[in-house]
């Protein structure tokens, strides 16, 4: 069977199997799956507001998906997009609340740059440790996620704290907020989605049209052969983690500058982990990642509506888990497809 | 110098040693799980998810039957189920073991969160359902200092040390243990000698489900008596670090777990020290200590430990 066709077919069939399994689970807890999926679709596409909300939720997911996907292409599993996003947004928020004296033309790129550099630097710690000592990036980035979470909680309950109630940082300057593209009722859709799509194009060019991209892919594909061919493996592992972290930091920036306008504890909310399923469903391809992020974004938005009729929104996590499992063990799906063909 | 005095007082307080033991217990169980799986050549990062599911299942069945030990038993069964999925995906279908582990963590987080409302009627946290009674050893409890540390402990603590002794014997003194290690080092050679590579790997991964399931049961019915969403809180990964630091050896993993346990006990005791007034704001910084230590340890020791040669590499028979 055609290789490209399979690359699309495996994730699509995996999503369908996951939906079938979750249908069974919904029936088991005594709910009507048609109502549940109806609510899901209504919640994500049922109105102009719902669609705008889906696009807003999709924006950071494209970026975390690109972050994880870029890592996979380079042979590193960046499970720490969550922490890189938190650190990027947190430090950017700290600076950007004082950017009132700057015009937007400087304040916006500067805030983005801070978030991306912090994300890159934070991820590079794991890259450096892997390159120098062989410490597996999965363990180190998970630890860095926890450290980021605790550090952020210290910052917003301590030095940055404003007001009472939910711990939060002060609002960033107006000039550092992303321009609003569209206003639907109370929902403001910022230019974040454009940034996300530009990032996808950037990743495509970097991976397919540049020497750096070629070297990073070579190290990911076969580090021994790459080293033999004169490509420095350590340098490229650190670089790959840094670029991956910069994309995660950018996800933090769009959430900070386009949605919340301040740092809150729930700013990341599992979006870094969603990046893993998005990268796998999108087969680490920038265009695939945009579609996959849109799918997960729609599921996340719609699941709130589903919760109203008594189906907990954790359903989306189960669906994602099953999809990741099936894409990782893709021979399961391939075998099913081949058997079907033989039967025909 | 108040801070040095505070540190000194922590170290001479028997409570510090007791908390070290209780904080190390789930890590000992889970890192043993890691050892069983990885010496046969299967990377198992799903420990975090198995612990979480075990914690949930033991609370669920304790609540249903009123008997904590039935809860603990069911935690083991749930651990076996999730571990079987990992074995099936990574051994039979030769999937990427790290990604499969991530999928299983997500599934465990999803399933436990999903079932909270339909079963317990509210999200987040269950009510107290009952817990395993602490074991009071009459003579020992009366000895000064030592009695305060060992006199009254959860039976899980003793089970953890027994499990380490048993595992050391199984892995280094029996034929099965030799086979497990050979399959993780060189599956082709083991296969040539007639060892069932797939069977041994299934055994290793399933046993990791047993131990990590017990670790989870300890977190809920062993320690606090209720379940809270995401209560495993990264300890599955700290256990993996303990396994690496312990050189993939049950005794080493236990010592490393005790070190991590001591670091949480230290953070815990410093926070409540009356000498240095730790404000609530600074507490998160203390909570970071075990995670920072884990990174240092993993980075400092990974090159020096002997990783099983075929760890993480799916074995495929040549046709």
pLDDT in tens, B137-189: 888 888 888 888 888 899 999 999 999 999 999 999 999 999 999 999 999 99
- Between A30, A129, A328, which is nearest B299 by CB? A129
Q: Which chain A residue has the Cα nearest residue B242?
A: A139
pLDDT of residue A279: 94
pLDDT in tens, A285-313: 999 999 999 999 999 999 989 988 889 98
**Same domain, yes or no, for A123 and A241?**
yes
pLDDT in tens, B53-110: 999 999 999 999 999 999 999 999 999 999 999 999 999 999 989 889 999 999 999 9
Query: Cβ A150–B288 below 8 Å, yes or no?
Result: yes
The mean-pLDDT minimum among B16-20, B74-78, B184-188, B297-301 falls in B297-301
pLDDT of residue A1: 54
Query: Cβ B96–A328 below 8 Å, yes or no?
Result: yes
**Same domain, yes or no, for A199 and A319?**
no
Q: From the candidates B30, B106, B243, B260, which should be mutated to test the interface with A, based on the most A CB atoms within 10 A?
A: B106
- For residues A54 and A304, the answer to whether their CB atoms sit within 8 Å is no
- Between A143, A312, A329, which is nearest B89 by CB? A329
pLDDT of residue A68 exceeding 90, the answer is yes
Cβ of residue A25 closer than 8 Å to a chain B Cβ: yes
pLDDT of residue A325: 94
Residue B225 has φ and ψ, to the nearest 5°, of 85, 10
Q: Would residue A42 count as lying in a domain?
A: no
How many domains is chain A built from?
2
pLDDT of residue B57: 98
User: Over chain A, what HEC string results?
Assistant: CCHHHHHHHHHHHHHHHHHHHHHHHHHHCCCCHHHHHHHHHHHHHCCHHHHHHHHHHHHHHHHHHHHHHHHHHCCCCCCCHHHHHHHHHHHHHHHHCCHHHCCHHHHHHHHHHHHHHHHHHHHHHHHHHHHHHCCCHHHHHHHHHHHHHHHHHHHHHCCCCCCCCCCECCCCCHHHCCCEEEEECCEEEECHHHHHHHHHHHHHHHHHHCHHHHHHHHHHHCHHHHHHCCCCHHHHHHHHHHHHHHHHHHHHHHHHHHHHCCCEHHHCCCHHHHHHHHHHHCCCCHHHHHHHHHHHHHHHHHHHHHHHCCCCCCHHHHHHHHHHHHHHCCHHHHHHHHHHHHHC
Q: Would residue A36 count as lying in a domain?
A: no
Cβ of residue A296 closer than 8 Å to a chain B Cβ: no
The H or E element spanning position B136 is strand B135-136
Query: Cβ A153–B93 below 8 Å, yes or no?
Result: no
Q: Which residue has the higher pLDDT, B302 or A257?
A: A257
Note the ipTM here: 0.91
Question: What's the token pair of residue A136?
Answer: 């597996």
Query: Cβ B45–A138 below 8 Å, yes or no?
Result: yes
pLDDT in tens, A240-265: 999 999 999 999 999 999 999 999 98
**Domain boundary assignment for chain B:** 2-304
**Same domain, yes or no, for A304 and A321?**
no
Q: Which chain A residue has the Cα nearest residue B288?
A: A147
- Using alpha carbons, select from A238, A142, A23 the residue that is nearest to residue B101: A142
Cβ-Cβ contacts under 8 Å, B105 against chain A: 321
pLDDT of residue B306 exceeding 80, the answer is no
Cβ of residue A308 closer than 8 Å to a chain B Cβ: no
Beta bridge partners of B228: B125
Give A312 to chain B, closest Cα distance, Å: 5
**Same domain, yes or no, for A342 and A219?**
no
**Same domain, yes or no, for A97 and A165?**
yes
Q: From the candidates A14, A136, A162, which should be mutated to test the interface with B, based on the most B CB atoms within 10 A?
A: A136
Give B238 to chain A, closest Cα distance, Å: 8
Give A152 to chain B, closest Cα distance, Å: 9
Q: Per-residue pLDDT averaged across B247-254, rounded?
A: 95
**Same domain, yes or no, for A302 and A320?**
no
- Under the phi-then-psi rule, with left for phi > 0, alpha for psi from -120 to 50, and beta for the rest, what region is A172? beta
pLDDT in tens, A206-223: 999 999 999 989 988 888
pLDDT of residue B107: 96
Cβ-Cβ contacts under 8 Å, A276 against chain B: 99, 102
Question: What's the token pair of residue B184?
Answer: 């993780």
Question: What's the token pair of residue B180?
Answer: 């497990």
The H or E element spanning position B135 is strand B135-136
Q: Per-residue pLDDT averaged across A101-115, rounded?
A: 96
Query: Cβ A321–B96 below 8 Å, yes or no?
Result: no
CATH number of the CATH domain containing A179: 1.10.3470
The mean-pLDDT minimum among A7-16, A86-95, B29-38, B105-114 falls in A7-16
Query: What is the extent of the structural domain holding A266?
Result: 48-310
**Same domain, yes or no, for A109 and A152?**
yes
**Same domain, yes or no, for A197 and A270?**
yes
- Using alpha carbons, select from B293, B306, B179, B164 the residue that is nearest to residue B237: B293
pTM to 2 decimals? 0.91
**Same domain, yes or no, for A93 and A27?**
no
Q: Would residue A38 count as lying in a domain?
A: no
Query: Cβ B94–A139 below 8 Å, yes or no?
Result: no
Rounded to whole angstroms, the Cα distance separating A302 from A39 reads 7
| B181 half-sphere exposure, CB direction, 13 A CA radius | 15
**Same domain, yes or no, for A190 and A57?**
yes
**Same domain, yes or no, for A9 and A110?**
no
What is chain B's Cα-based Rg? 20
Which fold would CATH assign to domain B2-304? ABC transporter involved in vitamin B12 uptake, BtuC (1.10.3470)
Share of chain A above pLDDT 90, in %: 67
pLDDT of residue A129: 93
**Same domain, yes or no, for A176 and A83?**
yes
Q: Would residue A41 count as lying in a domain?
A: no
Give A172 to chain B, closest Cα distance, Å: 22
């Amino acid at each position: 069977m055609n290789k490209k066709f399979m690359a699309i077919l495996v994730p699509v069939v995996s999503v369908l199997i996951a939906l079938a399994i979750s249908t069974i689970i919904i029936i088991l807890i005594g709910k009507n799956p048609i109502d549940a999926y109806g609510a899901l679709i209504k919640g994500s596409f049922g109105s102009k507001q719902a669609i705008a909300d889906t696009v807003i939720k999709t924006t950071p997911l494209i970026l975390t998906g690109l972050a994880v996907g870029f890592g996979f292409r380079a042979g590193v599993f960046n499970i720490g997009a969550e922490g890189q996003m938190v650190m990027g947004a947190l430090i950017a928020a700290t600076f950007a609340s004082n950017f009132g004296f700057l015009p937007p033309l400087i304040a916006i790129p500067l805030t983005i740059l801070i978030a991306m550099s912090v994300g890159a630097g934070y991820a590079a710690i794991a890259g450096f440790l892997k390159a120098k000592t062989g410490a597996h990036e999965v363990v180190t980035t998970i630890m860095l996620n926890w450290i980021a979470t605790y550090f952020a909680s210290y910052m917003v309950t301590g030095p940055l704290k404003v007001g009472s109630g939910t711990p939060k940082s002060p609002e960033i300057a107006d000039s550092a907020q992303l321009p609003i593209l569209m206003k639907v009722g109370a929902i403001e859709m910022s230019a974040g989605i454009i940034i996300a799509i530009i990032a996808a194009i950037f990743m495509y060019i970097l991976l397919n049209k540049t020497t750096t991209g070629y070297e990073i892919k070579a190290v990911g594909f076969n580090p021994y052969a790459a080293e033999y061919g004169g490509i420095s493996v350590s340098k490229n592992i650190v670089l790959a983690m840094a670029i991956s972290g910069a994309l995660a930091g950018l996800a933090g920036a769009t959430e900070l500058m386009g949605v919340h306008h301040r740092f809150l504890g729930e700013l990341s909310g599992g979006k870094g982990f969603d990046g893993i399923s998005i990268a796998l469903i999108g087969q680490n391809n920038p265009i695939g990642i945009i579609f996959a992020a849109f799918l997960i974004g729609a599921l996340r938005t719609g699941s709130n509506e589903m919760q109203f009729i008594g189906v907990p929104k954790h359903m989306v996590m189960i669906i994602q888990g099953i999809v990741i499992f099936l894409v990782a063990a893709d021979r399961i799906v391939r075998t099913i497809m081949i058997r079907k063909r033989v039967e025909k | 110098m108040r801070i040095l005095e505070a540190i000194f007082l922590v170290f001479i307080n028997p409570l510090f040693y007791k908390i070290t033991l209780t904080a190390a217990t789930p890590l000992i169980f889970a890192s043993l799980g890691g050892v069983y799986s990885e010496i046969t050549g299967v990377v198992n990062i799903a420990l975090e998810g198995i612990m979480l599911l075990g914690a949930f299942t033991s609370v669920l069945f304790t609540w249903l039957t009123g008997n904590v030990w039935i809860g603990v038993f069911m935690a083991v069964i749930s651990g076996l189920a999730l571990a079987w999925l990992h074995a099936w995906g990574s051994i039979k279908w030769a999937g990427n073991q790290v990604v499969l582990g991530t999928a299983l963590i997500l599934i465990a987080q999803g399933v436990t969160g999903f079932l909270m409302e339909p079963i317990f009627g509210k999200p987040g946290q269950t009510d107290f359902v009952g817990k395993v009674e602490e074991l009071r050893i009459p003579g020992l409890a009366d000895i000064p200092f030592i009695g305060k540390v060992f006199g009254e402990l959860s039976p899980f603590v003793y089970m953890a040390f027994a499990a380490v002794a048993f595992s050391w014997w199984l892995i280094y003194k029996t034929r099965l243990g030799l086979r497990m290690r050979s399959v993780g080092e060189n599956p082709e050679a083991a296969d040539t000698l007639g060892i069932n590579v797939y069977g041994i790997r299934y055994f290793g991964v399933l046993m990791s489900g047993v131990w990590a399931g017990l670790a989870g049961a300890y977190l809920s019915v062993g320690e606090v008596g209720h379940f809270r969403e995401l209560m495993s809180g990264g300890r599955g990964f700290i256990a993996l670090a303990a396994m690496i630091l312990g050189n993939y050896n049950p005794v080493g993993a236990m010592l490393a777990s005790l070190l991590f346990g001591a670091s949480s006990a230290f953070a815990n005791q410093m926070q409540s020290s009356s000498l240095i007034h730790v404000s609530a704001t600074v507490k998160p910084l203390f909570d970071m200590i075990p995670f920072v230590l884990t990174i240092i340890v993993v980075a400092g020791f990974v090159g020096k430990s002997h990783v099983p040669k075929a760890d993480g590499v799916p074995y495929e028979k040549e046709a």
